[in-house]
Structure 1
Amino acid sequence: MTRKIIAMAATVICVLGGFTASASSVAQDNPTVKEVKLRAEFYQNELDLLLDKARRGNFADFYQDVVKFAHYGEKYPQYLLGVMLLKGDGVQQDIGQGLVWIRLALEQKNTEWQKVYDSITAKLTKEQLDALEPMYETYKARFGVQAQKMSCNNEKMEASNIRIHQCRKTLVLKEFYSVYEYN
């Protein structure tokens, strides 16, 4: 799958010859932010359901859920949203925004995701990458680890000695996750 994403993105980039961050992709400069506390159990169940749907691969059916959890700072949905936007899978293709979401997901330090990102951005000019920087900074300020009050640590995988870098929400009052919504 990774090779298909890389090949597809490289082809699209070559065909388009360039892109710029659209004004509609980056929301207003002074958004209002609202903290919402969600029960951790319901939040995790909904996230698990989303990840199960993702494994089945019908992306159009759960696009809104991917966007919601990407906005909550969850790294796998951010990566998934980036891939969906790169490929135009169930959504209108937007390579610039797709790359920004993948870059933001890299706060989790996943080597596979890094390979995908590096292989695509290696084909871009400095000007193309610079054009994405304002969008990335805006998204990071709203949906990044710090903005969404998450923490990232090396964790041992279940039934294995392998450790992976994982970003997670922090429990509030032992049963809630805080999410920060922007409009």
Structure 2
Amino acid sequence: MNKLFISMVIILLLHIEPADADNTSEIWVFEQALDVGMSALRRQDYEAAFDQLEKAAKLGNKVAQYNLALLYMGGSGVSQDYAQAYLWLNVAAEAREKTWRKLLDQLHNSLSQDQIVALTPHVNRYMERYGARAQGVNCSKRPSIGTKIKVMQCTKRPAPRES
């Protein structure tokens, strides 16, 4: 009986492991790239921060998207690019963080109407690729470990399995 049960478990694992491995790997990158990127930011290693935050941002991490926008705005670790900052701020703003939204509004108000019109299709494309729904991300403000101060934290759901 035990041998039969173990055999069945092994067969099941062989069939589901690859998709789960991809999901686990993606979730790991989602979390670790943010941690490494934020650590690089604190060290003012902007190029390393950019590389890691971009990875996490493309997986839907709102904190990474916001900080990536700041790097683009300041030209830190990357050429200054207000258009890219605007795109990433729009996607990050899905998290409904007031300070992020305020910065987006300020940047929006500094752009001409022609620039906004030109950027709108790109904003839509970024939302479709890197938005919360597309990436299976949920963000909320929660207390940091050991403090009552709430910070934005995001989690990524495993991608649905294909049949």
State if a TM-score over 0.5 links the two structures: yes
User: Counterpart of 2:24?
Assistant: 38
Alpha-carbon distance between aligned partners in 1 of 2:63 and 2:128, rounded to the nearest angstrom? 18
Evaluate the alpha carbon distance shift between residue 57 and residue 126 of structure 1 in structure 2; reply closer, same or farther with a 3 A threshold: same
User: Counterpart of 2:98?
Assistant: 111
Query: Which of 1 and 2 has greater Rg?
Result: 2
Alpha-carbon distance between aligned partners in 1 of 2:48 and 2:29, rounded to the nearest angstrom? 20
Alpha-carbon distance between aligned partners in 2 of 1:139 and 1:42, rounded to the nearest angstrom? 19
TM-aligned CA deviation for residue 88 of structure 1: 1.6
Evaluate the alpha carbon distance shift between residue 155 and residue 101 of structure 1 in structure 2; reply closer, same or farther with a 3 A threshold: closer
Structure with the higher fraction of residues in helix conformation: 2
TM-aligned CA deviation for residue 166 of structure 1: 4.5
Evaluate the alpha carbon distance shift between residue 120 and residue 61 of structure 1 in structure 2; reply closer, same or farther with a 3 A threshold: same
Structure with the higher fraction of residues in strand conformation: 1
Which 10-residue stretch deviates more, 89-98 or 45-54? 45-54
TM-aligned CA deviation for residue 100 of structure 1: 0.7
What is the one-letter code of the residue matched to 1:148?
A: Q
Residues 75 and 105 in structure 1, CA contact (< 8 A), matched pair in contact too: yes
Alpha-carbon distance between aligned partners in 1 of 2:63 and 2:142, rounded to the nearest angstrom? 18
User: Counterpart of 1:80?
Assistant: 67
Deviations 1:99-132 (A, max 9, x none): 1101111111111112211122212222221111
CA RMSD in angstroms comes to: 2.6
Q: 1:94 aligns with which of 69, 74, 81?
A: 81
1:37 alignment partner, SS class = helix
What is the one-letter code of the residue matched to 1:52?
A: S
Identity %, equivalent residues: 28
Structure 1 unaligned residues grouped into runs of 5+:
1-34, 173-177
Question: 5 Å matches for 1:130-169?
Answer: 130-152=117-139, 154-158=140-144, 159-160=147-148, 166-169=153-156
1:115 alignment partner, SS class = helix
What is the one-letter code of the residue matched to 1:37?
A: N
Structure 2 unaligned residues grouped into runs of 5+:
1-20
Scaled by the length of structure 1, the TM-score of the pair is: 0.64
Alpha-carbon distance between aligned partners in 2 of 1:129 and 1:42, rounded to the nearest angstrom? 32
TM-aligned CA deviation for residue 164 of structure 1: 6.1
Scaled by the length of structure 2, the TM-score of the pair is: 0.71
What is the one-letter code of the residue matched to 1:157?
A: P
Residues 60 and 89 in structure 1, CA contact (< 8 A), matched pair in contact too: yes
Residues 47 and 78 in structure 2, CA contact (< 8 A), matched pair in contact too: yes
Evaluate the alpha carbon distance shift between residue 135 and residue 43 of structure 1 in structure 2; reply closer, same or farther with a 3 A threshold: closer
Residues 102 and 113 in structure 1, CA contact (< 8 A), matched pair in contact too: yes
Residues 47 and 69 in structure 1, CA contact (< 8 A), matched pair in contact too: yes
TM-aligned CA deviation for residue 74 of structure 1: 0.4
